[in-house]
Amino acid sequence: MGTGERPLTFFALILPFLAAAAAPFLTRLLKHNAAWVLALAPLWMFSHFAGMSGPVSEGAAIAGGFDWIPSLGVRFSWYIDGLSLTFALLITGIGTLIVLYSGGYLKGHPHQGRFFSFILMFMGAMQGLVVADSFLMLFVFWELTSITSFLLIGFDHAREASRRAALQALVVTGLGGLSLLASLLVIGAASGQNDLSGLLASGDAMRNSPLYLAALILLLGGAFTKSAQFPFHFWLPNAMEAPTPVSAYLHSATMVKAGVYLVMRMNPVMGDTAAWETILPLFGGVTLLVGTLLALRQTDLKLMLAYTTVASLGLLVMLTGLGSEKAVEAAVLYLIAHSMFKGALFMVAGLIDHESGTRDIRLLGGLRGAMPITFAAAILAALSMGGLPLFFGFLAKEEIYAAVAFGGGWATLVTIVAIVGNALMFAIAFAVGLRPFIGAPAKTPKHAHEGPVLLWLGPVVLALSGLLAGLFSTVAHRLLSSPMASAVSGQDLQIDISTMPHIGMPLLLSVLTIAFGIGAYLSLDRLRASMASVLKAIGWGPDRGFDQAIRGLLRLSFSVTKVVQSGRLDIYMTVTFIAVALTLLVPMVLFDELPSMPVFPDLWFYEWTVVAIAVIGLGAVVYAQDRLTAIVSLGIQGFAVALLFMLMGAPDLSFTQFMVETLSVVILALVMTRLRLSVSDHRPTGQKVLDISVAGACGLAFGMLLLKVTQLPFDETLSTFFKNYSLVIAHGRNVVNVIIVDFRGLDTLGEIAVVMITGLAILALIRIRTKDQAVPAKRKGRR
């Protein structure tokens, strides 16, 4: 990589965030036309990454970065090969069209500037994710996609449905993010690598590791939740509460494909195992069937497309898990095709809703005359989604059948699943792309007419891209498909399939799929009613299960809080001191670190006197009959310690101890007298025994800890440091004072702040108590 490209790539990664910061100001100035200016950011990014297609198509990988946390060896680094480059081009290319589409779709919205900021931040997060090299960078951008998608899905935060969908997406993908983090830690421990480029060069290190299965399960936990694999699929259709530009972007090229990207990225080092080739096809196949069957039930255009996205993600996971070269090629072709036709169809659905006032397929018809450009884009995208010749979707479907029809193992079952799933997606494609435009014109809430250029430009460009990519498939394969397939498989692959149908089993299965799809399209109303009956009979589903889980979690947290937060200070203190005693005693016992029995030192008579005073004070505290006596007696302990400090040659410390004990006794005495608490202690015997035991355990623990510390060899490092630098640095000869005032001055300031806050809290308590007592007196006077 040239030295000039490194800062340019870094600039490309931060450009969306810079554009997001400028979006509100530009929108305030230019209104919806700010979309034209803001779209220049992803357009420049697209051109920058497109310039890398030459060396990447020849097998090169472009890497670079900067030191992020040098002390830990962490870098802000990127690794761009065929896989990440294809994703980068999809994200920036479709992102450019989405920004423009947002300008028209949200024209006049009071928060359009905020929406531009959110969508650009989301773009930046997804861009960083797919080009990230270091594990930490990957995880940071992974979580950032969850956060920004939460903001986008809940954009219309005044609606409860939007807030619920946003929270649901954040919870599900957030839990998956934690699973990914754990997986990256396990992978790092097993392989000794902390970046993807190093991991990809490690060969079979992960597959041969005893930690492989744990790493795989945790990795798939992150990938399956992000890419809505069954049973985590429910959050994705609910995310349709977001504005249509979000749906189009999220479903075509960004967040939902992040899990697919992760699986594809890890395929060279974690694939080709029994676990990989069992778990991924199983969950992917089930997700494919569940998504298509649930799509039949819907009447909302966006929901129909959303459930087919779930199905498509299942198909991609299933193909990646099969592991063969043809399966990898099919997955790559379908991912690219899906990005184009699904983005176009989502924008078509939003355009129909924007210009007619409804997305209900039952209320739509005859729009081809009123919306001819939209109809052209819709039918082209539907043809690609249906897998008909000349379109890139046809290449993907042919390669899918070439992969599953001649595979080993459970190829027959996988083939049946693929046929059923593709046939039902064929039906949904034409239900969305054809049915609203044919037949007699329907009466819609708004007078339907063609939308402005900002709305139809995106679907037209994406629909035509699907056609052009199919017609010029040789160029598309050389620049995109083959480099991506090579990166996913870990070896050089050259895709050469063209739009010219070839007689054979794949074509036969394709014809069979089209026939089934046409039948499903013609019977769509009956199939919808049948699915509605089935779902009604089943009743429960993962979406309802999510609500039940959240309610159960809230009830559990409430119950636990009632136990651990009872509102009684004596319980809090008891639990705290028990924890302290266990924390100190248990490790010493388990690790055999108990101190040896000390030899009691020889004391002078005045030293024995101080010890006697301390013992007498202890007895006075224990046997005091009222609280005030106990408080004053408690000060005897502190004074005795202060005398010991003085006798041991620490007058400064002794003076501080005298002051602290005096203030403590005075403050406690004032508080206790002003609060008018009960004069004596009325604790039951059992409570007294518990308190004595806890206090004794804490005293024993601290005593043993101090004995153990004093029996260790003395380390003079700190003492020498302070002796050498107290005068030189702090200009003070009194080492103790210098430590308190200079070396740990902030700590001392913090202690002073704590004392001040405590005093203010005590003052507030006293004043509240005084007011409570004054109110009855005033009322009594009025009477």
Q: What is the dihedral of CA 384, 390, 396, 398, to 10 degrees?
A: 120
| pLDDT (tens digit per residue) in 481-506 | 999 999 999 899 999 888 877 778 88
pLDDT of residue 59: 86
145 with 67: CB under 8 angstroms?
no
Degrees to nearest 5, angle at CA 744 with 742 and 747? 130
pLDDT of residue 782: 42
| pLDDT (tens digit per residue) in 578-608 | 999 999 999 998 888 888 877 777 777 777 8
C-alpha span between 217 and 180 (Å, rounded): 10
Q: Regarding predicted confidence, which is higher, 254 or 103?
A: 103
C-alpha span between 222 and 174 (Å, rounded): 9
User: Does the pLDDT value for residue 779 go beyond 60?
Assistant: no
Average pLDDT, the chain: 88
Q: HEC states along 464-530?
A: HHHHHHHHCHHHHHHHHHHHHHHHHHCCCCCCCCCCCCCCCHHHHHHHHHHHHHHHHHHCHHHHHHH
Longest dimension (CA), the chain: 113
User: Does the pLDDT value for residue 372 go beyond 50?
Assistant: yes
pLDDT of residue 349: 94
pLDDT band at 739 (very low <50, low <70, confident <90, very high): confident
Q: What is the dihedral of CA 617, 618, 620, 624, to 10 degrees?
A: 140
pLDDT band at 135 (very low <50, low <70, confident <90, very high): very high
Lowest mean pLDDT among 81-85, 264-268, 505-509: 505-509
C-alpha span between 538 and 451 (Å, rounded): 41
% of the chain with per-residue pLDDT over 70: 95
Which parts of 565-684 fold into alpha helices (H)? 569-590, 605-623, 627-647, 651-675
Give which of 458, 454, 228, 256 is closest to 343, Cα–Cα. Answer: 458
% of the chain with per-residue pLDDT over 90: 56
Lowest mean pLDDT among 323-332, 453-462, 464-473, 590-599: 590-599
Lowest mean pLDDT among 8-12, 228-232, 568-572: 568-572
| pLDDT (tens digit per residue) in 551-574 | 999 999 998 888 878 777 788 888
The DSSP result for 31-56, as a single string, is GGGHHHHHTHHHHHHHHHHHTTHHHH
C-alpha span between 143 and 149 (Å, rounded): 10
pLDDT of residue 771: 59
Residue with tokens 């005093």: 759
Q: What is the CA radius of gyration of the chain?
A: 35
pLDDT band at 660 (very low <50, low <70, confident <90, very high): confident
Exposure class string for 355-373: b at 16+ Cβ within 10 A, else e: bbebbbbeebbbbbebbeb
C-alpha span between 361 and 430 (Å, rounded): 12
Degrees to nearest 5, angle at CA 181 with 179 and 182? 65
Query: Residue type at 167?
Result: L
368 with 437: CB under 8 angstroms?
yes
User: Does the pLDDT value for residue 83 go beyond 90?
Assistant: yes
User: Does the pLDDT value for residue 678 go beyond 70?
Assistant: no
Q: HEC states along 308-349?
A: HHHHHHHHHHHHHHHCCHHHHHHHHHHHHHHHHHHHHHHHHH
Structure tokens at 181: 């983090």
C-alpha span between 190 and 210 (Å, rounded): 8
Q: What is the pTM of this model?
A: 0.80
Lowest mean pLDDT among 365-369, 738-742, 777-781: 777-781
pLDDT of residue 626: 73
pLDDT band at 1 (very low <50, low <70, confident <90, very high): very low
Alpha carbon separation from 22 to 29, 98, 121, 156 (Å, rounded) = 11, 17, 11, 21
Half-sphere exposure in the Cβ direction for 398 (13 Å, CA): 21
Degrees to nearest 5, angle at CA 642 with 637 and 645? 130
Q: Regarding predicted confidence, which is higher, 662 or 144?
A: 144
pLDDT of residue 332: 95
pLDDT of residue 116: 96
In the three-class reduction of DSSP (H, G, I as helix; E, B as strand; rest coil), residue 169 is classed as helix
